[in-house]
């Protein structure tokens, strides 16, 4: 049987990106360190995926200072939420198609 | 192209990450069980030590009559209720911590902080109100306030943990309202709300999630 993957978004194939989006659609915002702990990835790995997501307009960031330490929070944009939900629906349809 | 099992794994990860980041899943049923037992032990202690074995049902435990002679008793009851609360909270934290270690989850996360804030805003409000009621001699409203504000805290916190906590909150609120209608049976409602409901919920959740 042929699987229809037209609804899938190539951009979410990576599991780190998938994880970031999963967290940001159910939470108003999440900061870098908490994302890192929740996903169990390295700083560099997380940073590069966050950058890619931000450049594509799926998430936004805001920087603030906690004491003297910079702290960056991330949240999903409306476009990001919509694209992720389309991707999620496509995944579910593939799983349920047999 | 990814195989179907890869897609399945994707979905599993999405669900797991969503759940773990938005709900505190380390709450242990044992917390409820022991909180309930502590509450009942506290009530029994109060009945036997303070009241010398006389279980004050008629005449109204915490009711407005005979205010003077019961004054020293009331402060003892309030102090003991506070100790019970601290012990019960301590037990909850202990079992939740143990469970988070077992499950390999962090205990201090954005969602556990939100859970505590949503629980403690109604709880502290209720606590302050109870002190005001105490000093203004509205004793018959103290037990209903304890149950109602605790229930509101659980309803609020239920959004950030197992759904069952939301319904436990509704039951506590109902118990509190009933105790306001029948103030004479205040201590019975208190034992039901803080003792029995916790024990039943704790055991049910332990069986459902931890075995």
- CATH number of the domain residue A35 falls in: 1.10.10.10
Task: Tell if the CB–CB gap between A34 and B110 is shorter than 8 Å.
Answer: yes
Identify the band that residue B202 occupies on the pLDDT scale cut at 50, 70 and 90.
very high
Asked if B46 and B80 touch (Cβ cutoff 8 Å), the reply is: yes
What mean pLDDT is predicted for residues B69-90?
82
Identify the band that residue A11 occupies on the pLDDT scale cut at 50, 70 and 90.
confident
Give how many domains chain A has, as a whole number.
1
Q: Measured in whole angstroms, how far is the alpha carbon of residue B206 from the centre of its chain?
A: 16
Residue B3 to residue A80: CA distance in whole angstroms: 25
Identify the band that residue B126 occupies on the pLDDT scale cut at 50, 70 and 90.
very high
- Write the burial class of residue A2 (CB in 10 Å: 0-12 exposed, 13-18 middle, 19+ buried): exposed
Asked if B28 and B99 touch (Cβ cutoff 8 Å), the reply is: yes
Q: Give the pTM.
A: 0.82
What mean pLDDT is predicted for residues B168-196?
94
Task: Tell if the CB–CB gap between A94 and B4 is shorter than 8 Å.
Answer: yes
Contact partners, residue A26, CB within 8 Å, separation at least 6: B18, B21, B22
Q: Pick A88's closest partner by Cβ from B8, B14, B20.
A: B14
Please indicate, yes or no, if residue A91 is contained in any of the structural domains: yes
What mean pLDDT is predicted for residues B152-172?
96
Exposure b/e, A47-79, CB count within 10 A at least 16 = b: eebbebbeeeebbeeeeeeeeeeeeebbbbbee
Asked if B69 and B146 touch (Cβ cutoff 8 Å), the reply is: no
Residue B168 to residue B156: CA distance in whole angstroms: 11
Exposure b/e, B28-64, CB count within 10 A at least 16 = b: bbbbbbbbbbbbbebbeebbeeeeeeeebeeebbbbe
Identify the band that residue B52 occupies on the pLDDT scale cut at 50, 70 and 90.
low
What mean pLDDT is predicted for residues B121-150?
93
Q: Pick A91's closest partner by Cβ from B11, B20, B21.
A: B11
Please indicate, yes or no, if residue A31 is contained in any of the structural domains: yes
pLDDT at position A57 over 70: yes
ipTM of the complex: 0.84
Identify the band that residue A85 occupies on the pLDDT scale cut at 50, 70 and 90.
very high
Please indicate, yes or no, if residue A4 is contained in any of the structural domains: no
Name the percent of chain A lying above pLDDT 90: 57
Q: Residue B80 has what pLDDT?
A: 86
- Residues of chain A whose C-beta is under 8 A from some C-beta in B? 3, 5, 13, 15, 18-19, 22-23, 25-27, 30-31, 34, 37-39, 88, 91-92, 94-95, 98
Task: Tell if the CB–CB gap between A13 and B7 is shorter than 8 Å.
Answer: no
Q: Residue B64 has what pLDDT?
A: 45
Asked if B111 and B22 touch (Cβ cutoff 8 Å), the reply is: yes
Q: Residue A95 has what pLDDT?
A: 83
From the candidates A7, A22, A32, A76, which should be mutated to test the interface with B, based on the most B CB atoms within 10 A?
Answer: A22
Token reading at B169: 């909150």
* Three-state SS annotation for B148-187: HHHHHHHHHHHHHCCCHHHHHHHHHHHHHHHHHHCHHHHH
Domain ranges of chain B: 26-51+61-209
Residue A77's domain comprises 10-96
What mean pLDDT is predicted for residues B1-16?
81
């Amino acid at each position: 049987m042929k699987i229809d993957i037209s609804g899938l978004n190539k951009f979410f194939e990576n599991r780190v990106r998938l994880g970031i989006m999963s967290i940001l659609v159910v939470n108003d915002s999440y900061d870098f360190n908490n994302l890192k702990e929740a996903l169990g990835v390295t700083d560099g790995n997380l940073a590069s995926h966050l950058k890619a997501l931000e450049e594509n307009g799926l998430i936004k960031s805001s920087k603030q200072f906690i004491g003297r330490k910079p702290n960056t929070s991330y949240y999903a944009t409306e476009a990001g939420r919509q694209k992720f939900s389309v991707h999620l629906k496509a995944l579910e349809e593939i799983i349920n198609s047999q | 192209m990814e195989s179907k099992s890869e897609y399945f794994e994707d979905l599993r990860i999405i669900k797991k990450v969503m759940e773990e980041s938005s709900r505190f899943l380390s709450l242990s049923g044992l917390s409820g069980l022991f909180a309930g037992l502590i509450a009942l032990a506290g009530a029994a202690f109060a009945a036997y030590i303070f009241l010398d074995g006389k279980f004050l049902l008629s005449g109204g435990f915490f009711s407005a009559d005979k205010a003077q002679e019961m004054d020293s008793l009331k402060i003892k009851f309030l102090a003991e209720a506070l100790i019970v609360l601290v012990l019960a909270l301590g037990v909850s934290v202990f079992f939740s911590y143990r469970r988070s270690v077992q499950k390999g989850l962090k205990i201090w996360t954005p969602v556990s902080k939100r859970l505590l804030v949503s629980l403690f805003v109604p709880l502290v409000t209720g606590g302050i109100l109870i002190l005001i009621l105490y000093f203004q001699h509205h004793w018959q409203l103290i037990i209903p306030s304890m149950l109602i504000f605790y229930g509101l805290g659980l309803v609020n916190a239920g959004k950030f943990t197992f759904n069952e906590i939301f319904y436990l909150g509704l039951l506590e609120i109902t118990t509190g309202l009933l105790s306001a209608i029948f103030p004479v049976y205040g201590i019975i409602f208190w034992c039901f709300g803080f003792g029995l409901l916790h024990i039943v919920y704790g055991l049910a959740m332990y069986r459902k999630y931890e075995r």
